[in-house]
Structure 1
Amino acid sequence: MHPPKSIIILDRGYNAMELYAHIMSMNSYFIVRLKDKSYIDDRYEITENDAEIELELTKERLKKFNNKHLKEKYSKEKHLKLRILKITLENGTIEYLLTNILDKNFTIEDFKELYNLRWGIETNYNTLKNRLNIENYTGKRKITIEQDIYSKFIKYNIFQYYKNYFNLLINRVKRQKGIKQEYKVNQAHLIRKLKKYLPIMILNPTKEIIRNYTKKLIDSCTQSPNKGIKNPTTTRNKKKQRKFNINYKPT
């Protein structure tokens, strides 16, 4: 559950009216990047770069609402009143953003800046998906899936804490040696070690155990850090098949 007044940034493929309605029911806001043909009929007559739009709540769209409360609430409405922005990127590409932030004090430039913040989400999700396998579940029951998700988020938070801490240690030593180049801990190596050491530390949470295994982590993960430069020639790994696929139908 997001706190009220949150701004939730969504990538293409998340264009679903039930999701918009759910976020709005939490008294929060969203910014979603649209596919080229998303809601093409609804925005047919819009010619401005920044305009309000009314997305019709048709019976076909309401059929795809799974939440009964939201379905009942929005079946009494005719439209979702939103705002659409046409943004031209530096390379000339046209992007469309849809939002329920109607306040005109937020300009197109503000929305560009806000949406760029999503890059951090992409890199973090890459870790969750490809390193911690958050999309692979050990069962099909709701409680099992929830346990898997929560446990992996706990592991991810612990990983982030150690990653930030080790990056500070690594660069402090480098500065002492007169090296100005930024270095970062090897994330894959850190995750492998956490998978090995965390169960021991959790099942035996004594000061001695925590201290000993934290020292092992420090010794192992700070020896061969990576330079803080992304290699532009790195190719992506092939996508792994999900253990359980989720059928998602945008509205």
Structure 2
Amino acid sequence: MVIQPEPKKDEIGALVTMLQRNDFEEKALIIADRGFESYNLIAHILEKPNADFLIRVKQSCSAMREVAKLPLCELDCNISFTITTTQTNEDKQNGYIHLQVPKKSKANSKTRRGRWDFPSPYPMKLRVCRFLLDNGEFETVATSLPPSFTLADIRELYHLRWGVETAFCDWKYTLGLVDLHGKSDAFAEQEIYASLTAFNFASRVCREVVVRQPKNGVYAYKVNFKMAVMLCKEFLRTPNADGETLLKEIARHTVPIRPDRQDERNLKVKGFAGFVYRVAA
């Protein structure tokens, strides 16, 4: 786990740090959503033994130059290019991709933009997969997985990340981890692990709950996780509480499962939460 203060939030840098900390004894697949498209991150994963990546990349004019050149249709191809941090005539003649690195950005630097931790020039090879979604839009991912993984396999693997996304949503909002209540790293780490323990406990309890499904209902039903967390907290606070009673109580609170339901993302600018002071003259 990597803790970063809000003004210096760098998710790509945090993932690079986690890669450097871990030695993967078994095969591991790093699946990342938009926002993790980084030459430096991809190079770190390529250099890591037993690690592969599957990262969603942009497909517009702001995408990686070699990806932006590809036609907007379903495809599965390999692209090769070379990263360089210099702009010599030889680099330009060879068509190298120039990565503008600030002078203060050295290896393992904390500078987010233009960070590059490897020699220059650096050859890179990616597999780019683009598939058509049910809504008629295309989705593009870059991966290091071999051709034995078909385009359908790549699509299914990327879709598996959604369970992690929903788990983080429950962890942040249902467990109340949106805001931390301490300033020190130790206190923040303690609060994160406490919330994670409560999340795992409630999730494990929910797996044991038997939900009765209506015989002629339109939807199937599942446990209301928000209510389950509240009931689990009350269970832990109550001495000599009965586990069977907890399972029955959770089973009373259910929500319908609506497959393929999509809501338009309502993006709002988050304002600064300042402190109000009253000064008496």
TM-score, normalised by the number of residues in structure 2: 0.64
Structure 1 stretches of 5 or more lacking a match?
A: 245-251
Equivalent-residue separation in structure 2 for 1:73 and 1:196 (angstroms): 49
Equivalent-residue separation in structure 2 for 1:10 and 1:192 (angstroms): 31
C-alpha change, 1:6 and 1:242, in structure 2 (3 Å) is farther
Aligned to 2:207: 164
Equivalent-residue separation in structure 2 for 1:233 and 1:94 (angstroms): 16
Equivalent-residue separation in structure 2 for 1:185 and 1:72 (angstroms): 46
Secondary structure at the residue paired with 1:74?
coil
Aligned to 1:33: 56
Query: Is 1:195 the equivalent of 2:233?
Result: yes
CA contact (8 A) 1:51 1:84 kept: yes
Structure 2 stretches of 5 or more lacking a match?
A: 1-21, 86-98, 274-281
> What are the within-5 Å matches in structure 2 for residues 40-189 of structure 1?
40-46=64-70, 49-54=76-81, 56=83, 58=85, 60=100, 63=105, 66=108, 74-75=118-119, 78-101=122-145, 103-166=146-209, 169-171=210-212, 182-189=220-227
Alpha-carbon deviation of 1:64?
Answer: 8.4
Secondary structure at the residue paired with 1:159?
helix
CA contact (8 A) 1:159 1:194 kept: yes
C-alpha change, 1:6 and 1:158, in structure 2 (3 Å) is same
CA contact (8 A) 2:84 2:121 kept: yes
C-alpha change, 1:239 and 1:158, in structure 2 (3 Å) is farther
Secondary structure at the residue paired with 2:211?
helix
Query: Is 1:11 the equivalent of 2:38?
Result: no
Superposition RMSD in Å: 3.8
TM-score, normalised by the number of residues in structure 1: 0.70
C-alpha change, 1:223 and 1:12, in structure 2 (3 Å) is same
C-alpha change, 1:18 and 1:130, in structure 2 (3 Å) is farther
**In the TM superposition, what whole-angstrom CA distance separates every residue of 1:81-127 from its partner, at most 9, and x where no partner exists?**
322222233443122111122x2222222211211222222222221
- Paired residues, what number? 226
Which one has a larger percent helix, Structure 1 or Structure 2? 1
